Structure 1
Amino acid sequence: MWMEKIEVEPPYNFDRVLERMSLDPLNVVDLYNHKVKVPLYDASKQPFVVEVKAIGRTFTIIGEDESQRSHALSEVSRIFGWNVPLSIINSHFRQTNLAALFEEHAGTPLVLDFQVYNCLMKCFIHQQLNIKFAYVLTERFVRTFGFEIDGVPFYPSADTVAGLHYEQLTDLQFSRRKAEYIIDTARKIVQNEINLEQLETMTDKEVLEKLIKVRGIGAWTVQNVLLFGLGRPNLFPVSDIGLQNAMKRFFTLENKPAKEEMDALSEGWSPYLSYASLYLWRSIE
């Protein structure tokens, strides 16, 4: 067993992170003890779990296999945004019409899905569903076809999903079209028509041009993959209903804002539009 301690620069509020993560029933979160178990894959694609716990701004990461330590530390730092200076982002938004929101939710980082693949699968499932049923459907998918280590669920691999029949998903209350999107995309990943690792080195525009060609992937899905899969800092998915509702509430608008109004209100938020999106979503969760 190994253990590593890391100090994170303020402001960083891990309790806010855990509160948001606890909304997803697949995340193994312990709010009382300020910790979460994280499913990872090592360099040889073997799954393993680490525990991340915080006392103040000091994080303790615990794992089993010493050979996985370096990779695990890199991954949890990426996932939890430990290398992103939130103080700079907060200072930026103090000069904007979101100043009050960033003060209320100060220290909330952009936390990524554990793998880009998970993010893509989750986006397919969440398309055009209310959030409650989306979580139910995602949990059915993972617990039916995935696996667990130390009580931590892992998404079914692309190889596993590629081997499914559409009816195996429709039996779980997936629509036929959504079942096709998920399984067909997994097959493209297995056949290397889609290389998710290459997305890391692409620009936002290149990722959009690559993924938008895949059946079932629209602008909303690409933006969410960029935001929560790749951690890009300047995404503002104007077609997202939750974001529209959050802006309506925060700016006390009579109706949900149209794209033009959202563009006008968000002037000055760049280059941190992703954080504006996150804080607005957080305001209505």
Structure 2
Amino acid sequence: MPQQFTQATYHSICDKLATMDTDFADVIKLYGYPPFWSRPNTYESLVHIILEQQVSLASALSALNKLCERVGKITPAHVLLLTDAEMRECYCSRQKTDYIRYLAEAIISGQINLEAFEQMEDEDIRRQLTALKGIGNWTVDVYVMFALHHTDVLPIGDLAIVNAIKRLKGLPKETTKEELALVAEQWKPYRTVASMLLWHYYLASPKPSTKGRA
């Protein structure tokens, strides 16, 4: 079973990362510890992450709240009762409606067992979830980080993480994801918490000026 972190161990892991990488020490000194981002291990949490694909967090939360208003509790059975028109009224695109339904059907059929994931390795979870249409590596990464609290996940498909590493390390914008993943090797076995620090830095720090750029 992979190593997990808890709210009780979160700050101590941040402190370990600060000793491993002085840039993280600077982030904590300037902006404090990152929030303990966490979500329950539920169908609703996975729906929320699907809704966050390729859109702003605010837009995704609006859609999730609309679904909550419509069905009361977001469960596979409740969501499968909604018509296409009702899903559209909840700000769900046709594609995401399909993805949310595929996941609901997989859970109801027993193909996916979220409770069983709590005892499984990352790659076994990834293999099962990415077999479903509409669930890729980014969705799995965020789920494993936020809902299962696995300690060593780097969501290299996340644009904010990519930009945060480049900015924190002063790397050129053309630095590849493969090169960034090599940078992140130094943060093992705490790359999830390193990612939390990077998101915190990305959200809290002043954005670089774009004046004079084409």
User: Does structure 1 retain, via aligned residues, the 8 Å contact 2:33–2:197?
Assistant: no
- Specify every segment of 5 or more residues in structure 1 that has no aligned partner in the other structure, as ranges: 1-77, 147-154
In the aligned structure 1, how far is the partner of 2:103 from the partner of 2:126?
A: 15
In the aligned structure 1, how far is the partner of 2:174 from the partner of 2:97?
A: 31
1:216 aligns with 2:134: yes
Partner of 1:93: 18
Q: 1:202 aligns with which of 100, 120, 137?
A: 120
Partner of 2:209: none
In the TM superposition, residue 243 of structure 1 has moved relative to its aligned partner by 1.0
In the TM superposition, residue 162 of structure 1 has moved relative to its aligned partner by 2.2
In the aligned structure 2, how far is the partner of 1:93 from the partner of 1:212?
A: 33
In the TM superposition, residue 160 of structure 1 has moved relative to its aligned partner by 0.4
Partner of 2:180: 262
User: Does structure 1 retain, via aligned residues, the 8 Å contact 2:152–2:190?
Assistant: yes
Deviation sequence 1:52-84 (CA, Å, 0-9, x none): xxxxxxxxxxxxxxxxxxxxxxxxxx9x93342
1:225 aligns with 2:143: yes
Closer, same or farther: CA 207–269 of 1 in aligned 2, 3 Å: same
Higher relative contact order (CA 8 A, sep 6+): 2
Secondary structure, aligned partner of 2:67: helix
User: Does structure 1 retain, via aligned residues, the 8 Å contact 2:17–2:194?
Assistant: no
- Specify every segment of 5 or more residues in structure 2 that has no aligned partner in the other structure, as ranges: 204-214
Q: Which amino acid aligns with 1:133?
A: S
TM-score (normalised: structure 2): 0.82
In the TM superposition, residue 271 of structure 1 has moved relative to its aligned partner by 0.4
In the TM superposition, residue 168 of structure 1 has moved relative to its aligned partner by 1.6
In the TM superposition, residue 106 of structure 1 has moved relative to its aligned partner by 4.4
Q: What is the Cα-based RMSD across aligned positions, in Å?
A: 2.3
Aligned length: 199
Deviation sequence 1:118-172 (CA, Å, 0-9, x none): 32111111111122322222222222222xxxxxxxx412210122223321233
What are the residue-to-residue correspondences of 1:102-141 with 2, within 5 Å?
102-108=28-34, 110-141=36-67
In the aligned structure 2, how far is the partner of 1:264 from the partner of 1:98?
A: 17
Of the structure 1 ranges 103-112 and 137-146, higher mean CA displacement relative to structure 2 is found in 103-112
Partner of 2:207: none
In the aligned structure 1, how far is the partner of 2:155 from the partner of 2:174?
A: 14
Of the structure 1 ranges 192-201 and 96-105, higher mean CA displacement relative to structure 2 is found in 96-105
Larger helix proportion of the pair:
2
| Identity value in percent | 27
Closer, same or farther: CA 100–196 of 1 in aligned 2, 3 Å: same
In the TM superposition, residue 266 of structure 1 has moved relative to its aligned partner by 1.4
Larger strand proportion of the pair:
1
In the aligned structure 1, how far is the partner of 2:63 from the partner of 2:139?
A: 17
Deviation sequence 1:221-242 (CA, Å, 0-9, x none): 1111110111101110101011
In the aligned structure 2, how far is the partner of 1:278 from the partner of 1:101?
A: 11
TM-score (normalised: structure 1): 0.63
